[in-house]
Structure 1
Amino acid sequence: MSTPNPRRQLKPTDVKRLNRTWRRNTEGRLALILESVTGPFNIGSIFRTAAAFGAETVWLAGNATPPTNPKAQKTALGTDRLVEWHEPVPVAEAVRAAREEGFRVVAVELTGDAVPLHEAKLGGDVCLVLGSEDHGCSPACLEAADSVAYIPQVGRVGSVNVAVAAAIAMAEARRQEWASPAG
């Protein structure tokens, strides 16, 4: 009698079952503030990743492009309907709204007091802030955030694409929750 190959790709039903198991083991709430992220493909990609990691809300700030942009729709593939989002407001207002919803606000940026992302406290209800493609988080954003974390990089490039940074940060927030002992 042969056993099924454990390395075969999962069928859609198996993927749904697997995702349900992870959802049951996920209690922390995750949200994002996107400050002046203008690239529609970045917005679409971030929304798709936010939906995959179970982010519940995205606050747009500054001159961020909304996910309804036709180019954003090409990468979001309809996932923007799975994540609540708010029209752009000044960043301090977005941070205030996140706090009112019970989130701790962590900016992802390189600052003198930033801690490596894997050392940042990202458990519980956390809202990650990512800034514009060109300038990152504004001084007003950094002042308003509860803390700042950065993504350690060892290569010869000093930064990653904002959509990639968002994916790394969301994955790390979930990883920390799943790795911590229950209780």
Structure 2
Amino acid sequence: MTDNPRRQLRPTDVKRLNRTWRRSTEGRLSLILESVTGPFNIGSIFRTAAAFGVERIWLAGNATPPTNPKAQKTALGTDRLVAWEEPVPVLEAVRAARKDGFTVVAVELTGDAVPLPEAKLSGDVCLVVGSEDHGCSPALLEAADSVCYIPQVGRVGSFNVGIAAAIAVAEARRQEWSGKSLPDPESD
């Protein structure tokens, strides 16, 4: 890579590093966005999804599509890197995710939710986040295979939905990569 390990990587080095991580990633990830209407949240979620290799995003309820011009400002074209489905009723999205072999895990504060670091996010997982104002609907929570929440120790009781999706997707990948020794990117 570089002689000085503290120097920022050159574009070729970044591509090599990302390819190494991609080869060490086997689990499939997808998302259901239930009634997420904020275009900047949609753009942010699509950008995060593209960065972490999310395979598909199902839009549900009245979710804003990534083709919205304001969503495009945040997504920076990453919506073309992640397959996505036009908005459908949420239970239809859950059925489609299951049909594709995903376990559906809602990210929401419920009485039976487990802390995100303790949630079983291995294998093929479809994470679900709900609307900015009301979270996941009761129908969705009933249909999900499990529910987890993001522990918070500060004085604020919730995250922005785009941030919550990013934290959940990052944790799913972290769990998969934990304990794996990555191959040396210079051996490519």
TM-score bin, normalised by smaller chain: over 0.9
1:128 equivalent in structure 2: 127
Between the aligned partners of 1:123 and 1:52, the Cα distance in structure 2 is 18
Percent of pairs identical after alignment?
Answer: 86
Q: Which residue of 2 aligns with 1:64?
A: 63
Work out the CA distance in 2 between the residues paired with 1:144 and 1:82: 28
Partner residue, 1:80: 79
Measured against aligned partners, the alpha-carbon deviations of 1:150-181 in whole angstroms (never above 9, x if no partner) come to: 00000000001000000000000000000155
Partner residue, 2:32: 33
Higher mean C-alpha displacement, 147-156 vs 5-14: 5-14
Per the alignment, residue 185 of structure 2 pairs with: none
Write the deviation string for residues 68-112 of structure 1: whole angstroms up to 9, x where unpaired.
000000000000000000000111000000000000000000000
- Secondary structure of the residue that 1:9 maps to in structure 2? coil
Q: Which runs of 5+ in 1 are unaligned?
A: none
| 1:156 and 2:155 matched | yes
TM score, norm. by length of structure 2? 0.94
Q: How does 1:67-146 map to 2 (within 5 A)?
A: 67-146=66-145
Equivalents in 1 of 2:170, 2:8: separation in Å?
22
2:45 counterpart of 1:46: yes
Describe the shift of the 1:181–1:6 C-alpha distance in structure 2 as closer, same or farther (beyond 3 A): closer
> What is the one-letter code of the residue matched to 2:166?
A
Partner of 1:14: 13
Residue segments in structure 2 that go unaligned for 5+ positions in a row: 182-188
| TM-score, normalisation: structure 1 | 0.96
Please give the alpha-carbon distance, in whole angstroms, between the structure 2 residues aligned to 1:125 and 1:178. Answer: 14
Quote the Cα distance in structure 2 between the aligned partners of 1:181 and 1:140: 37
Measure how far apart 1:4 and its partner are.
Answer: 2.3
Rounded to whole Å, the distance in 1 between the matches of 2:135 and 2:157 is 13
> Corresponding residue for 1:167?
166
Residues in 2 aligned to 1:181 and 1:18: alpha-carbon distance in whole angstroms: 15
**When the two structures are aligned, how many residues end up with a matched partner?**
180
CA distance in 1, matches of 2:163, 2:6: 27
CA distance in 1, matches of 2:24, 2:155: 37
Q: Note the C-alpha offset of 1:5.
A: 1.8
Q: Distance in 2 between matches of 1:35 and 1:67?
A: 14
Q: Which amino acid aligns with 1:173?
A: A
Q: CA RMSD in A?
A: 1.1
Letter in 2 for 1:92: L
